[in-house]
Structure 1
Amino acid sequence: MSQAAQQVVIVGGGVMGSAIACFLAMHPRFGGKVTVVERDPTYAQASSALSASSIRQQFSAPVNIAISQYGIEFLRNIKQHLAVEGNVPDIGLTEKGYLYLATAAGAATLRENHATQRAMGVEVALLEPAALQQRFPWLQVDDLALASLGLKGEGWFDGYGLLMAFRHKARNLGVQYVKAEATGFAYSQGRVHAVTLEGGAQLPCDWAVNAAGAWAKPLLAGTGLDLPVHGRRRCVYAFTSPAKTPDCPLVIDTSGLWFRPEGDIWICGLPPPQDDNDAPLEVDYDLFDQAWLTLAHRVPGFEAVRLQRAWAGYYEYNTHDQNALLGPHPALPNLLLANGFSGHGLQQAPAVGRGLAEWIAEGAYTSLDLSPLSVQRLVEGRALLERNVI
């Protein structure tokens, strides 16, 4: 079949599915048709729209660092990538860094990660408590042994804005978005030949992509792959305080709580005491009481805070090793997976979108080797562990 005749159907029109569609439509060696199936074009429950939307270089796995290195350059130059007919997307990229805090028990991990990061050219500094206090005098450091601060290439942005930019660019390039509920993949003789929709209709395809986020697992029922991906609820809390935190980065406390400024307020979140897979997207307000205790300890000025609003979204959590599962299904080579990003999907969308587009158009990753994230590691029982999971 000629490249021009190829039909690609992507299930999931969030940032990942839209990024894959966009890069594929832009690829000079692809001349086929791309269809994106999205059940809810309002994105009311989409992780892309509900995320805190940040990007960092401070990973421990080299492939994740490389993905973010491309990602930050893409976001910085979004005008040249995703402008449509003179309309330039504004994603409000703010590069103020990530600040990882560690007690004595976690200091060795920070140092090991630092060595890996520096070897890959990441601009990151280790700070002893005295230097940390001098740089951020509003921070309580008495119980800390070390901190790691990203000096460049880390920060936050408008995740919904990035999703819309990819979607608008893709549609401008001829990608068709279909409002429908996908229920699975029809296959025979080791190849997918259609995406099945609710009601029984089918969209024929030569390539299919599962980019359904927290809803990816049931689509693979019957294919022989038990995808270890679940929707895990995470709550984000927006609060005000009379405190002042000049030059505040995104802070990762030793407890797992994170916080960062958002204009004149702050937002924060923390892992729940126990994760329930696929829990309803309802805000756990009791969890903010725990967050407040940690906030008040780490930033004494946060003793007085007022919760303004809160929302809940899903991490598409990979219980196997908390890293993305990318590339061909082990038994169906024309079914590509882009699943299990475990909270890193927005920042990884540019590199993954480009990579899977290359796989379809060229048969291999040609810009950045994403094979360490291959789904094959599930079959082989291997794990790619990331020490810096938030």
Structure 2
Amino acid sequence: MSAYDVVIAGGAVTGSSTAFHLAKEPGFKGRILVVEKDPSYEFCASARSAASIRQQYSTAINVQISLYGIDFLRRLHEHLAVEDEVPEIGLTEGGYLFLASEAGKPVLEANHRLQVSLGADIALLGPDGLEARFPWLSTEGIAAGSFGVTGEGWFDGYGLMQAFRRKARSLGVDYRAAMVAGVVKDGAKIAGVVLDDGSRIACGALVDAAGGGGAALARAAGVEIPVRNKKRMIFTFTCADKVAAAPLLIDPTGLYFRPEGRGFLCGLQPPEDQDPDADGDFEVDHSFFDEHIWPVLAARVPAFERIRQGRAWAGHYDMNLFDHNAIVGAVEDVPGFYLANGFSGHGLQQSPAIGRGLAELITYGAYRSLDLSPLAFARIAEGRPLAEANIV
């Protein structure tokens, strides 16, 4: 039976970020194995999301995580270059634009105060300011908008994941194409894992970064987490008229769109009663665009009345149904077991800080850079939701 100090279940962006940060942590001297069931990464959330980053959250911990994240992405060449190969993820700081009605304006203003107090570069604009900055925008029903002047935008999520993976491997991390199917314990403590091919691997620590399979792995370790897979569809389109300098815009309805190449991509979370668990379902419902997305697009941006649809795809988000925030850190009742689950669509932008934090926690038993304890599993067990108003 082979042995590693740390086994990481899931080799997409969060698992590979954790592996990289752990391998480069000066105080860590052990062996690391990343187990990934789909080495092609065809169906992982990292490859199928809208791949963006923002500081416009309503909770301090999420703002701080993304402030570190944007700094990391800006200096990716310093962190993840392998010899002469420098990763390129096409980071575009085009900004987020959150729009609010009169009813939502006080929340937007409160969020803005928090964000700027923590160092985020966010401008609060009224209807006149919005029309001056974005002349193609209809402000009907809009009382205010908050715009990320710098530090927010989009990038190549698949490229970031692969850059983490490549750098981790260069630092001696082993990757294995398999799935963690079982957990071995010595009493309450993690002692090893069983892979789906029947092989056993001894380990002192297990990180659950298994994305859509995270809840099942946690259950195998004796831990229940309220994480379920939800399908999210992304549609692309081109516009006959010019819509210049568009940010990633979030309408009060929850609809979002942003530039993508010569066109745009967009999406919308379906109503709760039309949002079942979606294990294995990657089918695109094109009627959803016609019935729910296009009418809002055309009303908010009149130029979008004349568009041509392009390709569309569906992916799965591991949604934390408790409070839509990530569940990160050690599980007190299962020594050696660490969670990195339920990112609810924020995994790519949060992966640098989460990987760094888990590496510190595993190595030193405590966070040293940014205290991620607000995301701890304890809040789930104790029924203390971390309320986040800016869910997209």
TM-score (norm. length: structure 2): 0.97
Q: Which residue of 1 aligns with 2:373?
A: 371
1:370 deviates by 0.4
- List structure 1 runs of 4+ shifted beyond 3 angstroms: none
Corresponding residue for 1:83? 81
- Provide the C-alpha distance between the structure 1 equivalents of 2:198 and 2:86, rounded to a whole number of angstroms: 40
Q: 1:170 aligns with which of 168, 171, 174?
A: 168
Q: Is the 2:153–2:248 Cα contact (8 Å) retained in structure 1?
A: yes
The match for 1:298 is 300
User: Is the 8 Å Cα contact of residues 4 and 33 (structure 2) preserved in structure 1?
Assistant: no
Q: CA deviation at 1:6?
A: 6.0
**Counterparts of 1:265 and 1:345 in 2: how far apart (Å)?**
25
Structure 1: which 5+ runs fail to align? none
Which moved further from structure 2: 284-293 or 317-326? Answer: 284-293
* Equivalence map 1:130-141=2 (5 Å): 130-141=128-139
The 3 A distance-change label for structure 1 pair 7 and 88 is same
Map of 2:314 onto structure 1: 312
CA–CA separation in structure 2 for the residues paired with 1:6 and 1:358: 18
Q: Which amino acid aligns with 1:246?
A: A
Partners in 2 of 1:16 and 1:222 — Cα distance? Answer: 20
Pairing 1:97-246 to 2, within 5 Å after superposition: 97-246=95-244
- Decide whether the 8 Å contact of 2:236 with 2:263 is kept in 1: yes
Residue 184 of structure 1 and its aligned partner are, at CA, apart by 2.7
Paired residue for 2:90? 92
Are 1:332 and 2:334 counterparts?
A: yes
User: Tell me, which stretches of 5 or more residues in structure 2 are unaligned?
Assistant: none
Residue 11 of structure 2 corresponds to 13
Q: Distance in 2 between matches of 1:368 and 1:277?
A: 33
Q: Aligned letter for 1:97?
A: G
2-side partners of 1:174 and 1:94: how far apart?
A: 31
How many residue pairs end up in the alignment?
Answer: 386
Q: Quick one: distance in 1 between partners of 2:344 and 2:57?
A: 13
Residues 138, 302 of structure 2: 8 Å contact kept:
yes
2:372 partner amino acid: L
SS of the counterpart of 1:104? Answer: coil
Sequence identity, in percent?
Answer: 51
Distance in 2 (alpha carbons) for counterparts of 1:63 and 1:241: 38
- Offset of residue 174 of structure 1: 0.7
Deviations 1:176-210 (A, max 9, x none): 00001211321131101111211432211011000
Q: Distance in 2 between matches of 1:198 and 1:108?
A: 51
SS in 2 for 1:372: helix
Distance in 1 separating the partners of 2:118 and 2:366: 23
How big is the shift at 1:222?
4.6
Determine if contact 1:257/1:268 at 8 Å carries over to the other structure: yes
Give the Cα–Cα distance (whole angstroms) in 1 for the partners of residues 242 and 191 of structure 2: 58
Query: Partners in 1 of 2:154 and 2:353 — Cα distance?
Result: 17
Whether contact under 8 Å (2:4, 2:201) holds in the other structure is no
- With over 3 angstroms needed to count, the CA separation of the structure-2 counterparts of 1:37 and 1:6, relative to structure 1, is closer
Residue 65 of structure 1 corresponds to which residue in structure 2? 63
Q: Aligned partners of 1:183, 1:278: CA distance in 2, in Å?
A: 20
